[in-house]
Structure 1
Amino acid sequence: MFFRQAGIHHSTYRGDRQLFPIPFDRWQIGVLVTLALAAPALLSPLYMKSYMLPWLIWTAAALGLNLILGWAGQFHFGYAAIMGIGAYTAVHATLHRVPFEIALLLAGAMSTLIGSAFAITALRVRGLYLALSTLALQFVMDWVINKVPAVSGGTQATIQAPPMRLLGVEITSDAGLYYVALVWCILVTVFMLNLRRSGLGRALVAVREKDFAAAVIGVNSFYYKLVAFAMSSFIGGVTGAILIFTFYRAVTPEQFAVNVSIQVLAMVIVGGLGSVIGCYFGVAFILLLPGVVANLIFAAAQAADLKIGIELLAHIPAFLYGVLIIGFLLFEPLGLAKIYSNLRNYFIFWPFGYARR
């Protein structure tokens, strides 16, 4: 999007309210979608399974969490539990011969039901108390998944996911699984882009900025907060199911532990609160950076003849998440999306910097 916007005039409200009002934006989005569709032919299978597939899935998860955190302004430290509910629901449904399409809807519905029921009580408080309440949801679901054999098969048990069937066709190829994740990520992205310019989205922003002021102008803050939790829970439940069927191929309690909730939270904050493109940046940053940093630290330790254990290297990503969250909250609360915006604005006006004054 590094281009000048001169000579573009909108004479109607309909033209001004388009999702991508500038023609170059529409061309750019078309090119990106074309590249995404051609990715299986352009990239190696290892790169597709190790980077592209998880990037798309976790971007959808980050978008769902951003709906609560960025749009409605409500903390949520139990998003991995919501994803786990959807994952176990979809796996048990397909094991009982339920079609995969219906299993996805059941996963979203179950996550919405439990997430909304918990939100009714959690939303009676706000701020850090709400954060602790959602963290309680995470620990409750961890206990249920580990201790109830009907859900997970017992502590440390693994339930193998059956092969995915869409419209009766079994999907086993890497390209097919990638396209399933791509379609879901695009659907969530389009939904979030349209939510931002809808009446519901504006109401959520009003609640985020000041719920008392929103109530004065007739916005029911509790209702819209509950709607935000419900929509986000549905996205998280379906994303959790897609994560299992396309990437992990089996479901275990450790896949949706509290550290996963912290990881998704870091993706949203690092990418940018309330930003759609920031979720893509944040997920790519969080997925790629820990491995790169761990390799650099290991190489530096070998060069300096220092011995670093495997356990210490395993804890580096968690330490990095905390440092990144604190750093971005202190120095750039709007995250990588704001840095991208600043860079874009600089090149739009370059070399005529005085035009911004």
Structure 2
Amino acid sequence: MFYRLSGVYHSSLISDSRMFKVPADRNLAVFLLLIGLAAPFILPSLYLNSYILPWLIWTAAALGLNLVTGWAGQLHLGYAAVMAVGAYSAIHTVRLGVPWEIALIIGGLAASVIGSLFAFAALRVKGLYLALTTLAMQFVMDWVLTHSPTISGGSHASLQAPTLALLGQQITSDAGYYYVALGWCVLVTIFMLNLKRTGLGRALVAVREKDFAAAILGVNSFYYKILAFAASSFIAGVSGALLVATFYFLAAPEQFSVNVSIQVLAMVIVGGLGSIIGSYFGVALILLVPGLVNGLVVTASEELGMQVNVETLAHIPNAVYGALIVIILMIEPLGLGKLYGNIRDYLMTWPFDQLRK
């Protein structure tokens, strides 16, 4: 009943191209934004900065990957590499005396330049061949970070991030870090929501479905592939810089390894390709659920009086977590975003759908 469309007739192109076609979606978005703004006054700092803050930043990063993979259909296994470019570029820029606001933009632009190299590979190959090419570029970036002390400090070293300062004010509180992450995630979400209803978004979808057919219709696949990789890499670069500035507080090569690229891709796939709300769900599942499952297993073993050794206790959450991902994809192969859409579509007609014969 919350999703009722009574009085919404879609009688014009303007009404049909609104950001939120269903009023309940708009109300839910406003409600969640208010909850997000009030979170520092509701949640303890431990939960706020250990769970919610990284969830927001990784969601912004996953939305960037969804832009190139979900919208443009280009399989990307080197996403952590461009995040590393943005993080290290921003840190070195701030160390040269540049304000953080400009350093974040420089980090995003540097990541866009590197990300455009992936686009040139996408012009020649596609599918699994593109995935292999981007994976090779990820390995190249891993080698550069571990063998270039000038950039990263060396294979076993870390680069300390300068104190984050925006608009001339240093940010050192947990609430301050959280609001920076929230602001960036909201900006990326608004960009993606608007992208869906623009000519750029429709062109990317056309390239995803069949680039040859899109070219016949006048869509320049060369231009839009480069644009998708560049925009996605910019989001990745800024997200990587903010992740280092607000959560890790230092940059190390292992933070942006190939495992991270696979993890972000898993977030997008589990959440749903091309789904914005699915990216939120996917990041929450991949990032937060393992810790929750671990806590539940420990609590259950204590309550039942079971003597579980440390090694078994460490592997049970991973097994439960992996089984959960498999079950979700078996129930809805298109991801958590589609599962949410199915529930919403059902509620749009309930209980009147019971009157149908």
Normalised by the length of structure 2, the TM-score is 0.92
The residue that corresponds to 2:311 in the other structure is: 309
Pairwise CA distance, 1:320: 7.4
For the residues of structure 1 that align with 2:223 and 2:230, how far apart are their CA atoms?
11
Q: Which residue of 2 aligns with 1:153?
A: 153
Q: Which residue of 1 aligns with 2:201?
A: 201
Q: How far did residue 53 of structure 1 move?
A: 0.4
Map 1:159-198; keep pairs closer than 5 Å. Answer: 159-198=159-198
Given residue 103 of structure 1, which amino acid in structure 2 is its aligned partner? A
User: Which position in structure 2 is the counterpart of 1:137?
Assistant: 137
Aligned positions of 1:1-357 closer than 5 A: 2-296=2-296, 305-309=307-311, 313=314, 317=318, 332-354=332-354
Shift of 1:143: 0.5
Give the Å deviation of 1:307: 3.4
Preserved contact between residue 263 and residue 321 of structure 1 (Cα < 8 Å) = no
In 2, are the aligned partners of 1:147 and 1:155 still within 8 Å (CA)? yes
Between the aligned partners of 2:23 and 2:179, the Cα distance in structure 1 is 27
Give me the whole-angstrom Cα distance separating, in 2, the residues matched to 1:264 and 1:321. 16
- Which amino acid is 1:42 matched to? I
8 Å contact kept, 2:86–2:107: yes
Contact map agreement 1:163 1:245 (CA 8 A) in 2: yes
1:266–1:325 CA contact under 8 A, matched in 2: no
Amino acid at match of 1:14: I
- Please report how far the alpha carbon of residue 286 of structure 1 lies from its aligned counterpart in structure 2 after TM superposition: 1.2
CA distance in structure 1 between the aligned counterparts of 2:49 and 2:307, rounded to whole angstroms = 35
CA distance in 2, matches of 1:133, 1:269: 19
Which amino acid counterpart does residue 91 of structure 1 have in structure 2? I
- 1:271-319 CA distance string (max 9 Å, x none): 1110001011111111122123344556677865453528x837965x7
Shift of 1:146: 0.5
Deviation at 1:39, TM superposition (A): 1.1
Over 3 Å counting, the alpha-carbon distance change for 1:239 and 1:29 in structure 2 is same
Structure 1: gaps (5+ residues): none
Cα distance, 1:6 vs. partner? 1.5
Q: TM-score, normalised by structure 1?
A: 0.92
Q: Which runs of 5+ in 2 are unaligned?
A: none
Give the Cα–Cα distance (whole angstroms) in 2 for the partners of residues 83 and 3 of structure 1: 38
Q: Secondary structure at the match of 1:309?
A: helix
Segment of structure 1 superposing worse, 4-13 or 38-47: 4-13
Structure 2: distance between partners of 1:199 and 1:321: 39
Cα pair 2:2 2:24 within 8 Å, conserved: no
**One-letter code aligned to 1:13:** L
**Count of residue correspondences:** 355
Distance 1:289 1:109, change over 3 A: same
What percent identity do the matched residue pairs reach? 60
Name the CA distance, whole Å, in 1 between partners of 2:273 and 2:309. Answer: 39
How big is the shift at 1:354? 4.6
Moved more, 282-291 or 75-84: 282-291
Post-superposition shift, 1:16? 2.5
After superposition, the Cα gap between the structure-2 partners of 1:195 and 1:14, relative to the gap in structure 1 and judged at 3 Å, is same
